[in-house]
Amino acid sequence: MLDRYLEFTNSAFGKQFASSLGLPTPPRLQRAESGYAAAPLAGMKVLIAADAAATASAAVLAALRALGATVQVAPGHSGFAAVKAGAQAAGVELHSEGSDSDPIAPVIVFDATGIAGTGGLKQVYELFQPRARRLVANTRVVVLARATADTDSVQAATAAAGLRGFVRSLAKEIGKNGSTANLLEVSRAGDAWLSGPLAFFTGPNSAYVTGQVLAVGDAPKGATAPAHCNQSLAGKVAVVTGAARGIGAAIAQILAREGATVVGMDRPAEEGALGATLSPLNGVGLALDVTAPDAGERLASELNARFGGADIIVHNAGVTRDKMLRNMTPALWDMVLDINLGAILNINERLLQSGLKPGARFVCISSIGGIGGNAGQTNYAATKAGVIGYAEALAPILAKKGMAINAVAPGFIETQMTAAMPMANREVGRRVNSLAQGGLPQDIAEAVTFFASPLAMGINGKTLRVCGQNWLGA
Ligand SMILES: NC(=O)c1ccc[n+]([C@@H]2O[C@H](COP(=O)([O-])OP(=O)(O)OC[C@H]3O[C@@H](n4cnc5c(N)ncnc54)[C@H](O)[C@@H]3O)[C@@H](O)[C@H]2O)c1
């Protein structure tokens, strides 16, 4: 559904009108218009800085080189020596940042993995404070902290946790011009898997992801880092449930954009819409209710017969049946629980017996409603919180099999689901986030595709909110 207010405030008159009344002026977000390039940062300036004792700079610089970036540095910053040492180790050429009158690089990466105590946080302040006023539209800020389990002291763990508050607050300040800030908490083993997360978080694919914290760890044994980012799903078979429309249709499209063959599933009543979504993608439609008792069996036999199994399973099908608990009938409760959560467990249980290829990756769609809770959504929120717990619980079991599972928690996304909301609720839902607008189905599809791809090899059991830093459950 068109966001008319965003269109209005992006006209010259509308912008002036809204600013003079102190109303929000949502920025136009820069989204990906095509698939990942082999080296997505080629031709782009990236400013890198670090704390003086940073331990991941060589890995970060090697990743930035692989992504094609032109790396800039701030020689006056207190952590410059750490960056220089990292560049020497990684064989990366450094360029000095321009003068104060030059535009700041549109990507800023701060390696804060060596901050040993509270005082060390000042180094982050020193880099960002003088630049905060001058960031170009749609700047991507990525800060790296050492994962708590890999910090050397209570002081270091405290400082690393402090970075969460810094990044979340910075994201709220810089969202006005479409800029984002996110924090990667990296274990030492995770250093080897940074190029994929950096490709996602520094690019247009993460336009609606801001103020988030994501852990990067080790990859399954035998995994290899992707040599380039383009067509990373070529030769892979991906299943998407609820693929006929909305977010599911966008997921099918973006997975296909990166090279996957998509098997889309939806209710038999949606067979026509399912065909319309999948035929331009040369995908396969399967008219099958996810709650059918034989859904797992039929999906597994279809996958085995046609493709010898699937590489990617995206559980997207979902419904809302909102009622205050006092008015909720058992039928409304059961329906939402069965579709949004029960079906995921049943289908996966069957697929894990047979129907998957080695290294399979699962992605489940949760919701920020499952994090913050919502009056009238006890049923829905129970399922969406359940999805987060399911991913956490299943991850270590899958890791032993060389597989992974993650979840994406959308905020307010422009789909038929949200178009059906009363106008006042919809307008509020759109604005209460750092980017002052709803997300698009593409935004969820980009995050799902990232998790489904080898770019997210070091990520397992995690949930990423794609919500523009919605205030709900923030
Ligand atoms: N739109 C949002 O703002 C938003 C926010 C948070 C989470 N989500 C989640 O994202 C997912 C997609 O939502 P959407 O907005 O695209 O919804 P939508 O209603 O537009 O699409 C959902 C799709 O799932 C299918 N589906 C429903 N029940 C099914 C069943 N039993 N078997 C097979 N298919 C079934 C529907 O036919 C439909 O094609 C859902 O899990 C939803 O809870 C959406």
Asked whether residue 162 falls in the same domain as residue 84, the answer is: yes
In a domain, residue 229? The reply is no
Does 289 sit in the ligand 1 pocket, CB within 6 Å? yes
Does 290 sit in the ligand 1 pocket, CB within 6 Å? yes
Average pLDDT, whole number, for the chain? 96
Half-sphere exposure of 407 (CA within 13 A, CB side): 28
Predicted confidence band of residue 474 (pLDDT cuts 50, 70, 90): low
In a domain, residue 227? The reply is no
Label residue 187 exposed, middle or buried (CB < 10 Å: 0-12, 13-18, 19+): middle
Asked whether residue 417 falls in the same domain as residue 461, the answer is: yes
Distances (CA, A) of 178 to 136, 137, 139, 336, 379: 9, 6, 7, 35, 34
Q: Residue 316 and residue 239: Cα distance in Å, rounded?
A: 10
Label residue 14 exposed, middle or buried (CB < 10 Å: 0-12, 13-18, 19+): middle
In a domain, residue 5? The reply is no
The mean-pLDDT minimum among 117-126, 414-423, 441-450 falls in 414-423
E strands, 254-355, are 261-266, 284-287, 310-315
Catalytic residue list contains 380: yes
Q: Residue 255 and residue 50: Cα distance in Å, rounded?
A: 35
What mean pLDDT is predicted for residues 403-407?
Answer: 98
Of 183, 216, 249, the residue that ends a domain is 216
Tokens of 214: 């994501």
Distances (CA, A) of 250 to 4, 115, 264, 440, 441: 22, 40, 11, 9, 6
Asked whether residue 187 falls in the same domain as residue 273, the answer is: no
The radius of gyration of the chain from alpha carbons, rounded to an integer in Å, stands at 22
Total tally of structural domains belonging to the chain? 2
Distance, CA 230 to ligand 1 centroid (Å)?
28
CB 213 within 8 A of CB 164: yes
Asked whether residue 155 falls in the same domain as residue 241, the answer is: no
Considering the chain, what percentage of its residues have pLDDT values greater than 70?
100
Does 242 sit in the ligand 1 pocket, CB within 6 Å? yes
CB 215 within 8 A of CB 460: no
In a domain, residue 389? The reply is yes
Does 339 sit in the ligand 1 pocket, CB within 6 Å? yes
In a domain, residue 190? The reply is yes
Distance, CA 98 to ligand 1 centroid (Å)?
47
* CATH number of the domain bearing residue 44: 3.40.50.720
Asked whether residue 304 falls in the same domain as residue 428, the answer is: yes
Asked whether residue 210 falls in the same domain as residue 266, the answer is: no
Question: Which pLDDT score is estimated for 417?
Answer: 81
Distance, CA 40 to ligand 1 centroid (Å)?
31
Asked whether residue 373 falls in the same domain as residue 423, the answer is: yes
**Closest ligand 1 atom to Cα of 369:** 6
pLDDT at 8 over 90: no
Domain range for residue 347? 237-466
pLDDT at 472 over 80: yes
Nearest protein CA to atom 7 of ligand 1, as residue: 367
Asked whether residue 210 falls in the same domain as residue 250, the answer is: no
In a domain, residue 474? The reply is no
Asked whether residue 172 falls in the same domain as residue 285, the answer is: no
Distance, CA 422 to ligand 1 centroid (Å)?
18
In a domain, residue 380? The reply is yes
Asked whether residue 64 falls in the same domain as residue 200, the answer is: yes
In a domain, residue 116? The reply is yes
Asked whether residue 139 falls in the same domain as residue 274, the answer is: no
What pLDDT digit, counting tens, does each position of 168-180 carry? Answer: 999 999 999 999 9
Asked whether residue 251 falls in the same domain as residue 202, the answer is: no
Nearest protein CA to atom 21 of ligand 1, as residue: 246
